[in-house]
Structure 1
Amino acid sequence: MERKSEKKPRILCLHGYRESAKIQKRLILRWPESVTGKLDLVYLDAPFPAQGKSALEGYFDPPYFEWFQSNKDFTEFYKFEECLEYIEDFMLKHGPFDGVLGFSQAAILCAAISGMQRDGMALTKVPKIKFVILISGAKFGGPSFGVPKLAANAFSSPINCPSLHFLGEKDYQKKDGEVLLKCFVDPQVIHHPKGHVIPELDDRNTEIMLGFIEKKVNNFETTRKIALSSL
């Protein structure tokens, strides 16, 4: 029999606050082909039009979107359940997905998704997420953010889901990202000198990224093959 080509990990990519899938795709495709070529990347616009000015106006064209909304103190959240239902519906129609990648607001969301899915509070109709990639993330219930009701127990115990965290030296959310690290079992970290952005990958961070893909992501495919061969 002819051997089938290796299946690439399928990743749902979720953009930042008042940004878009188109913008995120342009930024991620600046990464080396040695990284992007190993992944099946799918980009999704958030469900709600931006309710105010985007920080990217003048740099990238509209439209811009938001995943959910909150008050100025980030203590009350709105349309959070609708956001999760929207993501789950997309996953059902276009999946299955192996992992999720989020930047900024979406990284906060993606960080909690594993815990919510574990507890049966979200994404109950789709397969378990196998890994998360969090760029400029933060923790619900951490230094800067309150907690939506559905995510109340997301971090009640360490999240045993392979995770790769991007921490920017000049990122205003860096401390929140460091707090988030403690919520995961054996988190991997990419440090970069930039601020609150999706950074380009230098040689060292490309190596870390490829190592994560090989050890953490592709390991699931190897485990699956071993399990099938034993049947």
Structure 2
Amino acid sequence: MVSSILRILTHLFLYRSLSILIDIHELQSDGTPKKPKFLCLHGLGTNAEYFKNSLNTWLEFVLEKMDLVFINGPCSADGGTLVDEGYSWFTNNKTNATCELDKSIAYIEDRMIELGPFYGVFGVSQGAIIGGALPGMKEHGACLTKVEKIKHVIFISGGKLGSMSFPAPKITETAFSSPINIPSLHIFDENDFAKQTAVELMEAYVDPLVFYHHGGHGVQKLGIYMF
């Protein structure tokens, strides 16, 4: 009973947080608010469908605030037992994939042109790492020159490109050259193996909203979050 109440309260907090952070001005033809569209980037070795299904643990009234569009990474990667076909966004020493970051960023821009316009980016794990660098790079004209500004980001178990954990190529050198002043939500485990670099990513954004939890790496049930 207590866990059920906590889960609902946490969802209500997240719903309220999104209501504050997502500033909706556009209306649909019927006069109702137009849902902001988010490009969703999955973690290493998984895929778009896996990310989408993992969010089924979140209550509908939270997810219904956003129009979520899930895409696969451009490179194949071994997902182990998680998925039959896994993908990645850049080369990692835990995968056999050879995936260049600049080509992945160009691929993301192509998908944004094809499926957008997008209001924001929603990434988990490796998807949050590459997603975390995009707003700053866009701001300095280093990428995404053919699409609109990214207005809001949500990251689960993310990390900062250019940190000791994730060395970055020259193309990303402007990603965090100045504080990123857009609304951001950062969700990660207090004991996550990637916590330090998730904190570094969080600190790169101005006035970030943060959810801490004890549920492990990746998408978890909101009922175990604390903030």
Please say if residues 115 and 154 of structure 1, whose CA atoms lie closer than 8 Å, have aligned partners that are also in contact.
Answer: yes
Q: What TM-score does the superposition give when structure 2 sets the normalisation length?
A: 0.81
| Selected match of 1:25 from 43, 52, 56 | 52
Listed as ranges, the gaps of 5+ residues in structure 2 are 1-28
Q: CA deviation at 1:141?
A: 2.0
2:222 partner SS = coil
Corresponding position of 2:141 = 120
2:57 partner SS = coil
Q: CA deviation at 1:61?
A: 3.1
Q: CA deviation at 1:170?
A: 2.5
Q: Structure 2: how far apart are the matches of 1:10 and 1:25?
A: 14
Listed as ranges, the gaps of 5+ residues in structure 1 are 209-231
Q: CA deviation at 1:78?
A: 4.6
Corresponding position of 1:37 = 64
Q: Structure 1: how far apart are the matches of 2:106 and 2:191?
A: 34
Structure 1 position 66 matched with structure 2 position 88: yes
Change (3 A) 1:98 1:82: same
1:202 partner SS = helix
Q: Structure 1: how far apart are the matches of 2:92 and 2:34?
A: 39
Q: CA deviation at 1:29?
A: 2.2
Q: Structure 1: how far apart are the matches of 2:92 and 2:49?
A: 24
Q: CA deviation at 1:189?
A: 0.3
Q: Which amino acid aligns with 2:121?
A: V
Alignment of 1:36-55 (within 5 A): 36-50=63-77, 53-54=78-79
Corresponding position of 1:97 = 118
4+ residue stretches of structure 1 with deviation over 3 A?
A: none
Q: Deviations over 1:123-173 (max 9, x none)?
A: 110000001101111111223121221111211111111110012123100
Q: Structure 1: how far apart are the matches of 2:112 and 2:201?
A: 25
1:189 partner SS = strand
Q: CA deviation at 1:3?
A: 4.8
> What is the percent sequence identity of the aligned residues?
42
Q: What RMSD in Å do the two structures reach over aligned CA positions?
A: 1.9
Q: CA deviation at 1:175?
A: 1.1
Please say if residues 29 and 36 of structure 1, whose CA atoms lie closer than 8 Å, have aligned partners that are also in contact.
Answer: no
Q: CA deviation at 1:204?
A: 6.7
2:155 partner SS = strand
Q: What TM-score does the superposition give when structure 1 sets the normalisation length?
A: 0.79
Q: CA deviation at 1:28?
A: 1.2
**Total equivalences in the alignment:** 196
Q: Structure 2: how far apart are the matches of 1:71 and 1:203?
A: 31
Please say if residues 47 and 83 of structure 2, whose CA atoms lie closer than 8 Å, have aligned partners that are also in contact.
Answer: no
Alignment of 1:89-168 (within 5 A): 89-168=110-189
Corresponding position of 2:209 = 188
Q: Deviations over 1:178-211 (max 9, x none)?
A: 1222111000001111221211112876xx8xxx
Corresponding position of 1:220 = none
